[in-house]
Amino acid sequence: MSARSEKQYTSTVFILSDERPPRVLLLHHRRYDKWQPPGGHRRPHENPIEAAVREVGEEAGLDISGYMMPARELDDRASSLALPRYLLEETIEASDDQPAHFHLDMVYVIEIPHQKATNSDHEAHEIGWFTEEEIERLDVFDNVRVTLKEIFKEGPQNG
C-alpha cells in the first residue's frame, strides 16, 4: 500500500473495569473475525472524544462520557482536548466495498465501574469483559495484544 493511500480518522477506547484484577471490554468483530476494543470512524462534525463516546454507546451500550476528560476552554475560540494515550496508523486491507487505506486511530484508555455491556452493533457478534490471562487465549491483532500488555502493566489514564 502506498504512503499516499487515503487516511481516515478513527477513535478507539480500551475500557478497563475497576475490579481487581481489572478486565477489559472487547468485541468480536465480524469482518476481521478478531476481538477488538470498541471504536470506529469519526464523523465530520465530531472531535475524536465525541466519536469515541458515540462508538462505545453504539457498540457496547455504555455511556462513557463522564469518564473522558472534558475539554478545557482556552478562550472563546479554542478548547484543549484530552490527548489520546496512543495515536496509531493502521493498515486496512481492501474489501469488497472499499480500497486499501490507513486509519489514524486516536486510542483512549479509561477505567469505569464494571457494568453489563450489550452487543448493540451489527459489526460484532459477541462482547465480553476479559482478564489479562483470558486475553492470551483470544484471537486478537498483534497490535491489540501489545497495547493490552502495556495497559495492564501501566493502568488506565482516564481520558
Q: Where are the domains of the chain?
A: 7-154
Contact assessment for residue 1 and residue 100, using Cβ atoms and an 8 Å cutoff: yes
Backbone angles phi, psi at 53, to 5 degrees: -60, -45
Banded pLDDT at 85 (limits 50, 70, 90): very high
Q: Which fold has domain 7-154?
A: Nucleoside Triphosphate Pyrophosphohydrolase (3.90.79)
Residue 30: its pLDDT value, please? 87
pTM to 2 decimal places: 0.91
How far apart (Å, rounded) are the C-alpha atoms in residues 52 and 16? 15
Q: Is 56 helix (H, G, I), strand (E, B) or coil?
A: helix
Best CA proximity match to 143, nearest among 110, 117, 105, 112: 105
Q: What contacts 26, CB < 8 A, 6 or more positions away?
A: 35, 36, 37, 127, 128, 130, 135, 138, 140
**pLDDT surpassing 80 at residue 156:** no
Which of 159 and 17 is assigned the larger pLDDT?
Answer: 17
pLDDT in tens, 18-44: 999 999 999 999 888 999 999 999 999
